[in-house]
Amino acid sequence: MRIVRAMDGVSAEQAAIDGGRSAALDQALRTVAEADLGAGPKYSPLVVRDLTRTISARAYGKPLLELMHLIRIAEAAGGRHGWPAILFAVPVARAAAFRGVIQKASAGCRAFDVDFALVEDGVEIAYPDGRFRVTYGRMAFLAALVEFAITALGWRAVDGVFRGWLDDRFALRAAGPHANTLSRLLYDHLKDHLPTAQALRSYRRLTRFLMAVRGDGFTLDDLDDAMVLAFWSRGDEEPDDDGGDIRTFRAAVEQVARLRSAMRAGLERRSVDSAVPIGGDRSAGEVDPDTLLGVLEAHDGPGDPLRQLASPPASTIKFLNGRETDALDLIAALGAQGPALPLSVLRVETFGAAQGRLTQAIRRRADAVEVAALVGLAQCESYGERSEQWDRLDHQLHRLSLAALAALLEAGRAEAAVELLAQAPDADLSPLRGVASGSGDGRVVALGGILAALADPDVVGGRAAEVVGQARAALRAISRRGFSVEDRRDPASGDGFAAGAPAVRAVRDLLNGLRRAVDTALPLAERDHRFEADRTVFAARFSALYEAVP
Amino acid sequence: MTGRWNDLGPDDRALVEASFVALETTALIGTEASAGAMPSPSALWAHVTGVAVTPRTELAAALLRHPDLRVTLAGMLARVSIASGPRVAAAATGQRVRERSGDGFRLRLLPARGAPDQTWIMIALDTPNPAPTRLTVLPPDGVPETASLEAPVDGGVQLLAETDSALVRALSDPTALVFLL
């Protein structure tokens, strides 16, 4: 396993001197994200995010081992053209697509009766020294990893490693050295391209500031709204010449949120009595990449509902419009850290948005009067107005959840029961057992009977039936793509609602968690006063940053 | 969660630092707009196999911006080809060639009798099965040139092309790579 070198060694210092962003790395990731074979994006935002996390944490050791086995499978199924005929031929990288192409190809491949077996969720390789299974669900990520590796390292290097593995003995144990070869190539490439030095500078800037203002005994609770504002407002920072836009308030909030997640990981580790070593060689400053990947997933996971809504099958239905997605973006990105920094979120959505308009005006060389007006925050949305927008957004998310429930009921999907319980958690659905036992022998008949009974107040009670009635009304009232009667006739519609409904609920939970935290931190009666006080602070800082006098 | 910064040991702090760096790095990479669209390997594969052909101008621009793509393209063409021909020995001299051979074929360029503006491309196959259906030439610059091939007759395939066509010019370039697909 490759080990990530922590940034406290000599090499890290050198990296800090040399650092900066890499256009090549950005481009390699964007190439994967924008891959399109004429059927829309090949890889979903979730797959791209997984790839980005894996690359950032350098946690590609295990995936590359899996990849070697997938290459064996694809080479066998790919016929004369070999592995690319499977990994590159799928227009949209989804489990079902890989299942289809491999099942079709395997029909004409003798090896699939001997060394490879189609199993329920993937393909299993029977090596003489053991078995290895690659699931269809994993193939999209592994295919994206191949595209990234070829874009970053070149065809010759990557195909050369694959060729070496395919020409090697057919053995489970033989895969490791070839995976390690590719891992080393990636490691060497990323050493020059990951913006770790820039990230390290941000880390040092933040921890130095915290120690200066709170002492070296600071706790997680010290990373609060006041600290964010003080950090962003400080005027003595070193020039930010490395491309990091710490001048934006949002960037400061996000960095503090990341430090909260990182510090939590350290504190959790400390609280475990027998904490495992964090890497193979601590004297060399090494940290296990899989541990880092866990931190990344925990921090970034709350953002996944928005990515799920942007990914098939949910993306076939327009649950959120662009404005709503924008309004939820930061809240989803911060996840659990949002409610810990409620005022900061409120400030980003109001003053941060104003800062965005201001920087755009400066870029397009707007006249001094316009810039001064923007610096003075004359037209800035107030805290009260933003709270009202969140109220409306919550109402809309509720309507969408209800409409999705009705669509699932109409499609005869079992997921409807879960959604109904989510909307009416106090409903007693136990009488449905009687419906199920009396609905006939066939599963479809039984499910149909249960779903019909969900709207029957005599069976499930008034509350659940009332929710179903509201759901049907919501479905009729929503006119977005995917919600119309005609759109709902599409056989894929049920899958879209089944994937989208829990994601919409998850986003709504994040929004309401944040709203509650804001209500606690800033009671309604204090909002106007606080807004005016903050406006003075932000206007002064904008004036200093952009050298304009309001 | 309680706990002070100065309670953390060296391993804990190393984890905090590495975690922050990984989180920050994830946020930093992949978010900048790229200077120009770069075809993904799967898009190049679709082009090479004829499943989804990348528009000529788009491919030319991409090869110009990203010279490494030519290596990928050559590798993929070699992978799907029935037979391929390398640069010819005369490449160092820069002279145009009228004949070239590869693994499984020999190719000659012959002026059409009575029509000097046209050239016969004559391909002799070592083994006619499987029969190639396309001829692709990858020049050292510019886009790959492709022509459809008729079924071989007596182990040979002929096609007539304009002498100053991109295909003939590419075939007579000793540094070009030739693929029968």
Q: Which residues pair with B85 in a beta bridge?
A: B178
Domain map (residue ranges) of chain B: 10-80, 81-180
- With contact defined as beta carbons under 8 Å apart, do A69 and A134 qualify? yes
Q: How far apart are CA A459 and CA A434, in angstroms?
A: 9
Instruction: Quote helix, strand, coil % in chain B, to nearest 5.
Output: 35, 25, 40
Specify the DSSP element, H or E, that contains A352: none
| Interface contact B42-A268, CB threshold 8 A | no
Instruction: Give the mean model confidence (pLDDT) for residues A210-227.
Output: 94
Contacts of A202 in chain B (CB under 8 A): 20, 24
Tokens 């370039």, residue located? B173
User: Whose structure tokens read 């020294």?
Assistant: A129
Average pLDDT over residues A120-128: 96
- What is the total residue count of chain A? 550
A contact test, residue of B2, B4, B20 with most A CBs within 10 A? B20
Helix (H) or strand (E) holding B131: none
CB contact under 8 A, B20 and A81: no
Higher per-residue confidence, A296 vs A484: A484
Per-residue pLDDT at A175 exceeds 80? yes
Helices and strands (H and E) in chain B: how many: 5, 8
Would you call A203 and B13 a contact, using CB atoms and an 8 Å cutoff?
no
CB atoms within 10 A of CB A382: 14
| Bridge-based pairing state of the strands A130-135 and A286-287 | unpaired
Is the minimum CB–CB distance between A45 and chain B shorter than 8 Å? no
- Domain residue extents for chain A: 22-193, 197-306, 307-321+337-348+355-550
**Of the listed ranges A159-163, A194-198, A274-278, A465-469, the one predicted with least confidence:** A274-278
Kindly identify which residue of chain B lies nearest to residue A263, measuring between CA atoms.
Answer: B16
Tell me the Cα Rg of chain B. 25
List C-alpha distances in Å: B74 to A10, A160, A226, A489, B41. Answer: 41, 14, 58, 46, 12
Mean of the pLDDT values across residues A246-270?
90
When CB atoms are compared, the residue of B4, B32, B51 closest to A218 is: B4
Residues from chain A contacting residue B4 (CB–CB below 8 Å): 217-219
How distant is the Cα of B120 from the closest Cα of chain A, in angstroms? 30
Write down the pLDDT at residue A9.
35
Q: Which residues in chain B are closer than 8 Å to A32, comparing Cβ atoms?
A: 40
The residue in chain A having the minimum alpha-carbon distance to the alpha carbon of residue B77 is A81
Is the entire prediction scored with pTM above 0.80?
yes
| Contact between A267 and B12 (Cβ < 8 Å) | yes
Q: Which of B7, B31, B40 to mutate to test the interface with A (most CBs of A within 10 A)?
A: B40
Q: How many CB pairs under 8 A join A and B?
A: 215
Residues of chain A contacting residue B39, judged by C-beta atoms under 8 Å apart: 31
Contacts of B138 in chain A (CB under 8 A): none
Kindly state the helix (H) or strand (E) to which residue A122 belongs, with its residue range.
strand A122-127
pLDDT of residue A246: 60
Q: What is the mean pLDDT of residues A28-47?
A: 91
Peptide bond connecting B130 to the previous residue in cis, omega within 30 degrees of 0:
yes
Distance between CA A292 and CA A298 in Å, rounded? 10
Residue B28 is predicted with a pLDDT of: 83
With an 8 Å Cβ cutoff, are B23 and A295 in contact?
A: yes
Cα A198 to chain centroid distance, Å, stands at 22
Q: Which of B1, B33, B80 has its CB closest to that of A264?
A: B1
pLDDT for A238 equals: 54
Q: Is the pLDDT of residue A340 over 90?
A: yes
Least CB–CB distance from B38: residue in A27, A266, A279: A27
